[in-house]
């Protein structure tokens, strides 16, 4: 599948007036705007920097502690991506499995909902006892926290296949799995990617939470020690790095999404 131009015609004559490309600029403008607001907000409210430091202070901290921040960021990114990838595979698998039969759906869904209502931090101790501290529990926590949104969207995609489309395949004697893979999955791709956006952010939260409780490295560990030293700017530096990593992963997925789901994004509305 390839990227598609929308059906909207392109004006023949190029306009001579300079017109900035707002869509490309928007992320930067919004981010800068956010930082400015944050800076002003903190300054006006007079919150101590041990509670909410200004962005300038946070950037100072980033420069000052760049080496540990970088090392820990890489560690966290590594565990997160690993956990996320397991979650994608497992989420797709469980989603298909749940889509397979009403009985499995009825049985498994409530249990998963119940499981997901539990803060995963409560499970970290169990993982630590089984796997020791470090990378493994972080990966597993990232996985456990992030597979559910994927399951939900894949299962919804399967449950809402139009019978008309289904019939096209059923008339050919297609097996259930064929219908799922050939129709269910591609059809729910846009939502699958939507769920990935949710899942990747949750995966970051998961690995950080696990690192906070049981790890000698990673941003979670770094932020926990910084917090206990009242080095709040460093804590926020860690949070900012998390946000940046999250956005980087998002950009990667947005790119894949664009290639994969161009067919679905033909709406001319969001212009």
Partner 1 sequence: MTPLVSIENVDMRYGGPTGTLAVSGLNLKINRGEFVAVVGPSGCGKSTLMKLTTGLHIPQSGAVIVADAKVTKPVSIVGMAFQNPTMLPWRTTLENILLPLEIVERHRHRLRANKAEYVAKAEKLLETVGLKGFGEKFPWQLSGGMQQRANLCRALIHEPELLMLDEPFGALDAFTREELWCVIRDLHAAQGVTIVLVTHDLRESVFLADKVVVMSARPGRVISEHPVPFARPRQLDLLYEQPFNDMVQKLHSEIATARVAA
Partner 2 sequence: QTTDIKFTLDWRFEGPAAGFLLAQDKGYFADEGLNVTIDTGNGSVEAIPRVATGAYQMGFGDINSLIKFLDEDPSQPVKAVMMIYDKPVFSVIGRKSQGITDDPKSLEGKKLGAPPPDGAFAQWAAFKEVAGIDDSAITLESIGFPVREPMLASGDVDGVFGFAFSVILNLKANGVPDEDISTILFADHGLNLYGNAILANETFADENPEAVQGFLRALAKGFADAVADPAAGAAAVLARNETLNIDTETERLTMANEMNIKTPYVVENGFGGIDEARLDASIETLKVSMGLKGNVTGADVFDSQYLPPAEERMLP
Which residues would be at the binding site for partner 1 (CB under 8 A)?
Answer: 1, 4-12, 162-165, 167-174, 178, 182-183, 186-187, 189, 261, 263-264, 266
266: exposed, middle or buried (Cβ count in 10 Å: 0-12, 13-18, 19+): exposed
Span near a second copy by CB under 8 A; candidates 10-18, 55-63, 131-139, 199-207: 199-207
* Residue written as token pair 């300079």: 18
214: Cβ–Cβ under 8 A, 6 or more apart, which residues?
Answer: 124, 125, 127, 128, 133, 134, 137
Q: Which is nearer to partner 1, 10 or 111 (CB)?
A: 10
Within residues 167-206, the interface with partner 2 by CB under 8 A covers: none
Q: Does 10 bind partner 2 (CB under 8 A)?
A: no
Question: Is 21 near partner 2 (CB under 8 A)?
Answer: no
Q: How far is the CB of 59 from partner 2 (least distance, A)?
A: 16
| Rounded CA separation 92/184 (Å) | 11
Cβ atoms of residues 62 and 69 within 8 Å = yes
Supply the DSSP symbol for 217. S
CA separation for the pair 229, 68 (Å, rounded): 16
Q: With contacts defined by CB under 8 A, how many residues of the chain interact with a second copy?
A: 92
| Cβ(129)–Cβ(69) below 8 Å | no
Supply the minimum distance, in Å, between the C-beta of residue 229 and partner 2.
7
Residue 148 binding a second copy, by CB under 8 A: yes
- Other CB atoms within a 10 A radius of the CB of residue 37 amount to 11
Interface stretch with partner 2, choices 25-33, 123-131, 175-183, 251-259 (CB under 8 A): 123-131
| Least distance from partner 1 to the Cβ atom of residue 9, Å | 5
| Nearer to partner 1 (CB atom), residue 168 or residue 198 | 168
Q: Which is nearer to partner 1, 133 or 260 (CB)?
A: 260
Place of tokens 């949750």: 202
Region binding partner 2 by CB under 8 A among candidate stretches 41-49, 75-83, 97-105, 164-172: 41-49
Q: Is 198 an interacting residue with respect to a second copy (CB under 8 A)?
A: yes
> Of 207, 103, 57, 84, whose CA–CA distance to 148 is shortest?
84
The 10 Å Cβ neighbour count of residue 20 is: 8
55-63, 84-92, 131-139, 239-247 -> range binding a second copy (CB under 8 A): 239-247
C-beta of residue 194 within 8 angstroms of C-beta of residue 265: no
Taking CB under 8 A as the binding criterion, the range among 60-68, 81-89, 93-101, 132-140 that sits at the site for a second copy is: 93-101
* CB-based contact 218:207 (threshold 8 Å): yes
CB-nearer residue toward partner 2: 49 or 197:
49
Rounded Cα–Cα distance for residues 205 and 138 (Å): 10
Min. distance of Cβ 141 from partner 1 in angstroms? 34
Given the rule CB under 8 A, which residues bind partner 2?
47-51, 65, 67-68, 122, 124-125, 128-130, 132-134, 212-216, 221-222, 224-231, 234
């Amino acid at each position: 599948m390839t990227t598609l131009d929308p059906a909207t015609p392109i004006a023949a004559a190029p306009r001579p007036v300079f017109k900035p490309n707002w869509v490309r600029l928007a992320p930067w403008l919004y981010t800068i705007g956010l930082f400015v607001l944050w800076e002003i907000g903190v300054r006006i409210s007079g919150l101590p920097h041990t509670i909410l430091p200004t962005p300038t202070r946070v950037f100072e901290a980033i420069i000052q502690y760049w080496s540990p921040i970088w090392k820990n960021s890489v560690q966290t990114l590594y565990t997160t991506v690993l956990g996320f990838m397991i979650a994608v595979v497992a989420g797709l698998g469980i989603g298909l499995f749940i889509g397979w039969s009403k009985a499995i759906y009825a049985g498994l869904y409530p249990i998963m909902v119940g499981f997901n209502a539990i803060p995963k931090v409560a499970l970290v101790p169990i993982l630590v006892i089984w796997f020791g501290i470090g990378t493994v529990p972080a990966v597993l926590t990232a996985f456990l926290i992030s597979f559910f949104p994927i399951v939900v969207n894949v299962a919804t995609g399967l449950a809402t296949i139009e019978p008309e489309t289904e019939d096209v395949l059923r008339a050919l004697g297609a097996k259930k799995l064929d219908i799922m893979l050939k129709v269910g999955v591609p059809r729910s791709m846009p939502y699958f990617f939507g769920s990935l956006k949710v899942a990747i952010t949750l995966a970051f939260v998961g690995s950080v939470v696990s690192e906070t409780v049981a790890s000698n490295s990673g941003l979670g560990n770094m932020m926990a020690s910084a917090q206990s030293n009242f080095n709040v700017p460093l804590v926020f530096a860690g949070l900012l790095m998390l946000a940046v990593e999250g956005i980087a992963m998002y950009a990667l997925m947005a790119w894949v999404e664009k290639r994969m789901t161009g067919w679905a994004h033909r709406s001319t509305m969001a212009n």
